[in-house]
Amino acid sequence: MRGAVLHAPRDIRVEKRDDPKISAPTDAVIRMAATCVCGSDLWPYRGIEAVNGPAPMGHEYVGIVEEVGSEVRSIKPGQFVIGSFFASDNTCEICQAGYQSSCVHREYVGAGGAQAEHLRVPLADGTLVATPEIPSNDLVPSLLAASDVLGTGWFGAVAADVRPGKTVAVVGDGAVGLLAVLAARQLGAERIIAMSRHEPRQKLAIEFGATDIVTERGVEGVAKIKELTGGLGAHSVIEAVGTQESMMQAIRATRPGGHVGYVGVAHGVELPGEELFFSHVHLHGGPAPVRRFLPELIDLIYNRDIDPGRVFDLTLPLDQAAEGYRAMDERRAIKALLRP
Ligand SMILES: [Zn+2]
């Protein structure tokens, strides 16, 4: 099969790779209907995260089950399925509590590289969710978004304790931040402040439910959120970047007693203990347990209540994955969908 491999910073090649095989009796192998490039793929792409030799890339996937191992019970060949970047048994105590991305048996699905024609998914019964039928083509981008960015934005909103009537601020205007806006709207927030200085992203944020746009960042951004909230700060702030600046911006824009949901993969973030102590802010986040939300998200997409696939503003054949990375790196595209 063909798949995307990162050889060195900014050196993505689509090349021939071994076909994945069932290696454990709980595995499934799927044929990809669509895959995509994640904002978090840009960390190794830019060389900020080390790459040890050629690395298969990608961890977002939807597709048709081709083969299952002998112990797989609920997932069957021919089904259209969605899973998340961590495989989980969905039965252990941690999974049952809704934290499937910390499952005691978790495995990183992306190790196999989802930007490819086929993918091996471990713990298929726990990890994969089948759609009611084979979806029409126009639903595929939204279902693919549920695999990571929608589920991650949704977790950010849940972790930030978004509730009806509350004021929410979102730090970060990548696909996750934009879909956190959509999640906050679905969860009933009254006021949703998107922090973005890029016009096409501001437009999409407003379509997803943002009521206010703040272009300032850092100290000025915090001052602007305070100004919009009677000097108090937002009830809920979703952090969807993962830098020191964005994390501090999120914490400082939250009112005492409020909640920060942080879902940007942290790189070099160090929290000042004393400031945190006096802030009275709740912090919760981490790698999103997307599996917890998949059944509900698939329902919302099938009922056409939400259209998260709109974050894909670039569609390319898999063979042109390198251009997808370049376009996202240069912020010419919000998110690139790849068709195998
Ligand atoms: Zn588990």
Q: What is the pLDDT of residue 104?
A: 98
Looking at the predicted structure, is the pLDDT value of residue 131 above 90?
yes
- 176 CA distance to ligand 1 centroid (A)? 25
Residues with Cβ within 8 Å of 284's Cβ and at least 6 positions away in sequence, in order, are: 159, 160, 259, 260, 261, 262
CA of 132 to the centre of ligand 1 (A): 24
Are 256 and 333 found together in one domain? no
**Residues that place a CB less than 5 A from ion ligand 1:** 88-89, 92, 95, 103
Distances (CA, A) of 255 to 166, 167, 237, 246, 250: 12, 10, 9, 16, 10
How far does residue 297's CA lie from ligand 1's centre (Å)? 20
Does one domain contain both 168 and 99? no
Number of structural domains the chain divides into: 2
HEC letters along 199-242: HHHHHHHHHHCCCEEECCCHHHHHHHHHHHCCCCCEEEEEECCC
Instruction: Give the per-residue pLDDT at 52.
Output: 81
- CATH at 7: 3.90.180.10
In this structure, the answer to whether residues 141 and 158 fall within a common structural domain is no
pLDDT band at 49 (very low <50, low <70, confident <90, very high): confident
State in Å: Cα 24 to ligand 1 middle. Answer: 17
**From the CA of 288, how far away is ligand 1's center (Å)?**
14
Which residue range is the domain that position 174 belongs to? 153-285
Is the model's pLDDT at 5 over the cut of 90? yes
Centroid of ligand 1 to alpha carbon of 197 (angstroms): 40
290 CA to centre of ligand 1 in angstroms: 13
Structure tokens at 325: 């990375």
Claim to verify: residue 243 and residue 203 sit in the same structural domain? yes
First to last CA, the chain: 10
Kindly indicate the confidence band of residue 111, based on its pLDDT and cuts at 50, 70 and 90: confident
Average pLDDT of the chain to the nearest whole number: 97
Clarify whether residues 142 and 158 are in a common domain. no
